[in-house]
Copies of this chain bind each other. A is one copy, B any other.
Amino acid sequence: MNSIGASIAQKLNMDPLILQALQEDINYEDITTNSIIRKPTLGEIQLICKEKGILAGIDVFQRVFWLLDSKIKVEKKFKDGDRIHKGDLIALITGDVSVLLSGERVALNYLQRMSGIATYTNDMVKALKGTNTKLLDTRKTTPNMRIFEKYAVKVGGGYNHRYNLSDGILLKDNHIDAAGGVKKAINMAREYAPFVHKIEVEVENMEMFREALEAGADIIMLDNMSLDDMMIAIDKAKGRAKIECSGNVNLENLKKYASIGVDYISSGAITHSAPILDFSMKNLRIL
C-alpha cells in the first residue's frame, strides 16, 4: 500500500474503525485533561521507541490525531518498515496539548500492536532468507483489526493469504467430507465461486494430494504430513500447483520446510500472539 492507496483505504476502511476506537476511549470527554487544560495551548511531544524492532502503523498513529484535530502536525523521522532501536525519536507531534494528551493512548495502542506484529513477522522472514519460501498470514486476526494487522504483516516482510471468507477458496476436511471427496469438492467450488479466485485444498495424505493435483487445485496445503511425503508432493506439484504448509510454525521447522522447497508457510501466531513493541510519548514541551 503506497501512501495514496493507503489514504483511500484510510478514509474508507480504517477511519471508521479508528473513530470507533477513539469513542471507546473518550465516551464524552477526557475529564483529566479537560480539568487542567482550560484554554488552547500549543505544545510538542516526542514519540520514542523503547525497544528494537520494525516500525509499522506510523500513518495510523498520525491519523488518530488527525481525526481529533486536523491541525495537528506529525513530523515523522522513520517510516513503516524501518528498523528502529531503543531511544530512537520516531516522530515529533505538534499541536494543541489537549489533543496530544487525549489521543495518546489510542494512537499508541495501534502503533504498538502493529509494530509488534511487523517485528515478530520479520523475525520469521529473516529465517527464510536465501530460500524461495514465502511467509503468509491467516484469518486468525483480532476482530475488527484485520486491515491493520494484515498490513503490518506486509510491512514485516510477510505476504497476505486471503483477506476473508469472500475472497478466497480453501477447501478443508469438513468441506471435502461434505462434498464426498477431494475431486467433487474442487469441481463444486470451480462451478460456484467467482473464477478469479484460485482453488486451494488442504490435504492430509498422499492419496488426497494426488486427487487434488489431478483435479487441478491451484494451491495444495499439506497438513501434518511426513517430510518424505512432503518432498514427493513438492516434486510432483512443480509447475502444476503451489504448495503451502501450515501448523504450529516456529523458527526451527520453518527452516526445515523451506529447505525442502515449500512455496508458502502460513502462521497464525504472527497476528494472534505477537507481543507489542513498546513506545512512549514523552517530553511534552509547551510552545
A101–B174 CB distance below 8 A = yes
Complex copy number for this chain = 6
Interface residues of A in 194-218 (CB under 8 A from B): 194-198, 200, 218
A246 beta carbon closer than 8 Å to chain B:
no
A35–B169 CB distance below 8 A = yes
In angstroms, Cα B30 to Cα A167, docked, is 8
The size bracket of the interface on A is 35 or more
In angstroms, Cα B276 to Cα A167, docked, is 26
What residue in chain B is nearest A159 (Cβ atoms)? B195
B179–A28 CB distance below 8 A = no
A139 beta carbon closer than 8 Å to chain B:
yes
**Whole-angstrom distance from the CB of A124 to the nearest CB of chain B?**
15
Q: In this complex, which of A13, A29, A165, A194 has the most chain B Cβ atoms within 10 angstroms of its Cβ?
A: A165
Which residues of the partner chain B approach A108 to less than 8 Å between Cβ atoms?
140
**Whole-angstrom distance from the CB of A72 to the nearest CB of chain B?**
11
Which residues of the partner chain B approach A168 to less than 8 Å between Cβ atoms?
31-32, 194, 196-197
In angstroms, Cα B28 to Cα A17, docked, is 12
- Assuming the contacts A8-B68, A39-B2, A143-B106, asked whether A30 and B197 have C-beta atoms less than 8 A apart, the reply is no
Identify which of B36, B102, B109, B188 contacts A8 (C-beta below 8 A).
B102
